[in-house]
């Protein structure tokens, strides 16, 4: 019977990894003491290892004596995504959505307290969105991010809202309005935004759901000047269909015969 062995002679490396892996979706920012306890390290060791991680550009100060991981760590997550079934399944769905609607089609996922684009397809006539690729966006800003925030378990959603209010007390006045908007997103099954991620852009996002859990959002975006009520409705339906199609691809083993007949 195979057994799990601890690699010897790498205790320092193990401690660094334990500290880095103490960050997760429930703890995207943390004080040194919290990280030390989570990793089972003395406080002095945690300070020393955090200095090393900062030197390598993997963590940074987040204010208030807390730390957070940097986009360099997110790149590792994107590398994992690139090898995942999600990315393989997403490309043809995004391509079909872009071709049918003329919109830029993007797949977003959560990384800590932000959402990032992990795959994108431009239509023949690109919308020339500025600064979307490679950026991270707060979960309370823009259709794809709000949809992912709305889908979080209530405790994680409330914890996120608490964090942004501690960082910016002005956000507290928006709490009731924001919670109502997130509830409406859950009820409708999609989210819309005008100029929140990119000025002058209308966007809609729909969920990708696997085993009753939203794992990503499909986002379609067009210049607002090109969107009349009829096109808005058509884009909404196409985006929701794309989210449903991707969810189905990830939930059901592929059948070559059915794939040839499927819309996506």
Residue 165's contacts (CB-CB under 8 Å, 6 or more residues apart) are 171, 172, 175
Question: Are residues 163 and 157 in contact, defined by beta-carbon separation less than 8 angstroms?
Answer: no
**pLDDT bracket for residue 78 (50, 70, 90):** low
Q: What is the pLDDT of residue 136?
A: 76
Q: What is the pLDDT of residue 260?
A: 40
CA distance 259 to 117: 26
Q: What is the pLDDT of residue 3?
A: 41
**Percent of the chain's residues with pLDDT above 70:** 85
Q: What is the pLDDT of residue 263?
A: 44
Q: What is the pLDDT of residue 204?
A: 96
Q: What is the pLDDT of residues 146-161, one digit of tens each?
A: 999 999 999 999 999 9
This prediction has a pTM of 0.69
CA atoms within 13 A on the CB side of 13: 5
Q: What is the pLDDT of residue 225?
A: 86
Question: Are residues 20 and 69 in contact, defined by beta-carbon separation less than 8 angstroms?
Answer: yes
Helix (H, G, I), strand (E, B) or coil at 116: strand
Range list of β-strands (E), the chain: 29-31, 59-63, 66-69, 104-111, 114-121, 137-138, 191-194, 201-210, 213-223
CA distance 117 to 87: 12
Domain with CATH 3.30.450.40 in the chain: 73-261
- The third-level CATH classification (topology) of the domain covering 11-69 is Arc Repressor Mutant, subunit A (1.10.10)
Q: What is the pLDDT of residues 92-102, one digit of tens each?
A: 999 999 999 99
Query: Does residue 257 carry a pLDDT above 80?
Result: no
**pLDDT bracket for residue 259 (50, 70, 90):** very low
Domain with CATH 1.10.10.10 in the chain: 11-69
Residue 239's contacts (CB-CB under 8 Å, 6 or more residues apart) are 97, 101, 103, 190, 204, 205, 206, 218, 219, 220
Task: Please identify, in words, the CATH class of the domain defined by 73-261.
Answer: alpha beta
Element (H, E) at 217: strand 213-223
Question: Are residues 74 and 100 in contact, defined by beta-carbon separation less than 8 angstroms?
Answer: no
CA distance 231 to 229: 6
Residue 31's contacts (CB-CB under 8 Å, 6 or more residues apart) are 64, 65, 66, 67
Region 165-185: mean pLDDT is: 94
CA distance 138 to 193: 14
Q: What is the pLDDT of residue 19?
A: 86
For all residues of the chain together, what is the average pLDDT? 85
């Amino acid at each position: 019977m195979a057994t799990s062995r601890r690699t010897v002679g790498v205790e320092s490396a193990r401690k660094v990894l334990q500290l880095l892996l103490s960050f997760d979706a429930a703890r995207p920012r943390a004080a040194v003491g919290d990280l030390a306890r989570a990793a089972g390290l003395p406080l002095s060791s945690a300070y020393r290892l955090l200095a090393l991680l900062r030197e390598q550009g993997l963590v940074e100060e987040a204010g208030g004596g807390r730390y957070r991981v940097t986009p360099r760590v997110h790149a590792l997550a994107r590398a994992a995504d690139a090898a995942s079934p999600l990315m393989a399944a997403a490309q043809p769905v995004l391509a079909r959505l872009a071709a049918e609607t003329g919109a830029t089609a993007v797949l977003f996922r959560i990384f800590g307290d932000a959402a990032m684009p992990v795959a994108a397809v431009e239509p023949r006539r690109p919308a020339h969105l500025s600064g979307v690729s490679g950026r991270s966006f707060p979960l309370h800003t823009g259709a794809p991010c709000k949809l992912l925030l709305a889908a979080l378990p209530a405790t994680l959603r409330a914890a996120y809202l608490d964090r942004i209010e501690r960082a910016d007390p002005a956000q507290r006045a928006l709490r009731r309005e924001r919670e109502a908007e997130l509830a409406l997103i859950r009820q409708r099954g999609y989210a819309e935004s005008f100029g929140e991620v990119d000025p002058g852009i209308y966007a809609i996002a729909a969920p990708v759901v696997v085993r009753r859990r939203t794992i990503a959002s499909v986002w379609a975006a067009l210049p607002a000047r090109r969107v009349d009520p009829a096109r808005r409705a058509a884009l909404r339906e196409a985006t929701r269909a794309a989210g449903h199609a991707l969810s189905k691809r990830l939930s059901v083993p592929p059948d070559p015969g059915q794939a040839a007949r499927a819309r996506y």
